[in-house]
Amino acid sequence: MIKKVFPILAVSLFSAMLGVGLVSPLLPLYAQDLGASGTQLGIIFAAYGISNSVLIPIMGRLSDRRGRKLFLCIGLASYAIISLGYVWAANVSQLTLVRVIQGVAGAMIIPIALAYIGDLSPEGEEGKWMGYANAAFFGGFGIGPLLGGVLTERFGMNTSFYSMGSLCLLAFLVAVLFLPGIEQRKIGEKGHLSLKDMSTSPMVRGLFSFRLVQAVGRGGLMTFLPIFAATYIGLGTTLIGILLTVNFLPMIALLALGGRLADRFSRKALVILGNLTYLITVASIPLANTFWQQLWLCFPRAIGSAISMPAATALTVEEGRKFGMGSTISILMMAMGIGMAVGPPLSGVIADSVSINAVFYFGAIVGLIGTGLFTWFTR
């Protein structure tokens, strides 16, 4: 069954994240044009994480009980509509509101699509299928920045926002027309356990801590890498888009292999090894002062992510079989949402009060803390 359903979910994930990736190199620059300070820029990015993390556990539990397709389709349609809000936003407050609403829509897309795939993944092949799912997810998000940078330089920033809305609408139509409504048969005979029961699992504790603290650092990286590239290296939007795209392409190519490794070797060890590799490259960002130096840093960073992400997601699927797939994935996605909400404003304060270089050192340090917490809880 998963071989028939997965391509549809993959197209939905890819199309939606391609649209989102279009604006990733543009949002910091767009916010600066509206007069946002470093702290305000952090708040704009955090707005998505705040609304997203509040609703994710609710949507995950509801999808365990009422099926996945309805929530997935509503989320994709909402994404398409709110994309127009970027064009209409005339000040920092309105842009923040757009991000809040987009976070609500996002709570009904990514965790539910991953839960759907987790439901159908055969035992022993969790890493394989979640590796494919991560490849579809990051494939769209990785190609998006390059496309967004080119569209902005040639046709203006609004064209990128309209393109994002169109791609999300395409993902919605694919899901409505082709995704079979089979969720009810596969969902959650074990999804009745409470969050208190889930919190007793050492693996859930470890994954929650890891994703929360790691996301704090990643949030700052995503927010301030385009600013660093534009301000300190002097790159245009096309080169920034290339930089962000190359940050993902090697990872996308290796995620399937990473998933197969997660089915053969210790998933815990792969999470730790991959994340340490990633953190070394984050700490090296301020030392790379040219486009080509930054470009070469993307490769080990992508390899580390390709090793750790499928392993962590496969461990999540294992726990999801105990506590309800939608509930478990949503709780861990909520941890990421909280981290992404806290990270950008905190990094903005660091950038304003210390320097933008300190943002990347801070990201590496908190990521190391997250890896230590994961190791401790799952010892």
pLDDT tens by residue, 139-169:
777 777 777 777 777 887 788 788 878 888 8
User: What letters, b where the CB count within 10 A reaches 16 and e where it falls short, cover 99-138?
Assistant: bbbbbbbbbbbbbbbbbbbbbbbeeebbbbbbbbbbbbbb
Q: How far is CA 359 from CA 223, 257, 287, 354, in A?
A: 10, 32, 13, 9
C-beta separation of 69 from 181 below 8 A: yes
Report yes or no on whether pTM surpasses 0.75. no
The residue-averaged pLDDT of 171-188 equals 68
Q: Is the pLDDT of residue 1 over 70?
A: no
- pLDDT band at residue 184 under the 50/70/90 scheme: very low
pLDDT at 187 over 50: no
Residue 25 is classified by DSSP as: T
Tell me the C-alpha distance between 61 and 374, whole Å: 25
Using CA atoms, how far apart are residues 261 and 281, in angstroms rounded to an integer?
A: 22
pLDDT at 331: 79
Q: Tell the residue number behind the tokens 């991560």, with chain if given.
A: 134
Q: Between 242 and 172, whose confidence is greater?
A: 172
**Is 2-377 a CATH 1.20.1250.20 domain?**
yes
Two tokens at 17? 């994240």
Render pLDDT for 49-76 as a digit per residue (tens, 0 to 9).
Answer: 788 778 888 887 787 777 788 888 898 8
Q: For residue 24, what pLDDT is reported?
A: 65
Residue 374 has pLDDT above 60, yes or no: yes
Tens-digit pLDDT profile for residues 222-269: 778 878 888 888 877 678 777 777 777 787 778 878 888 888 888 889
Residue 236, helix vs strand vs coil = coil
Average pLDDT for 7-35: 75
Dihedral sign computed on CA atoms, order 124, 129, 131, 134: negative
Between 146 and 338, the more confident residue is 338
**pLDDT value at 80 more than 50:** yes
Q: How far apart are CA 56 and CA 334, in angstroms?
A: 6
| Contact criterion met (CB below 8 Å) for 275 and 304 | yes
pLDDT over 60 at 191, yes or no = no
Which pair of tokens denotes residue 221? 């990286």
Rounded Cα distance between 375 and 272, Å, is 8
148 vs 349: which has the higher pLDDT: 349
As a whole-number percent, the residues of the chain with pLDDT over 90 amount to: 1
pLDDT band at 25 (very low <50, low <70, confident <90, very high): low
* Distance in angstroms (rounded) separating the CA atoms of residues 195 and 205: 12
- Tokens describing residue 305: 């992510």
Q: Are 168 and 79 in contact (CB under 8 A)?
A: yes
- Domain positions in the chain are 2-377
Over range 77-98, report the average pLDDT. 86
Which residue stretches of the chain are H helix? 2-23, 27-33, 38-66, 69-82, 85-88, 92-106, 110-120, 126-155, 157-178, 183-186, 195-199, 202-231, 237-246, 249-264, 267-284, 291-323, 325-353, 356-377
**Residue 310 pLDDT:** 84
* C-beta of residue 161 within 8 angstroms of C-beta of residue 27: no
Cα–Cα–Cα angle for 56, 74, 218, rounded to 5 degrees: 40
Q: Which residue has the tokens 């290796």?
A: 254
Q: Please, what is the average pLDDT of the chain?
A: 80
Kindly report the CA angle at 10 between 7 and 16, in degrees rounded to 5? 140
Mean pLDDT over 128-135 rounds to 80
Residue 201 clears pLDDT 50, i.e. is over it: yes
CB-based contacts of 353: which residues, under 8 Å, 6+ apart? Answer: none
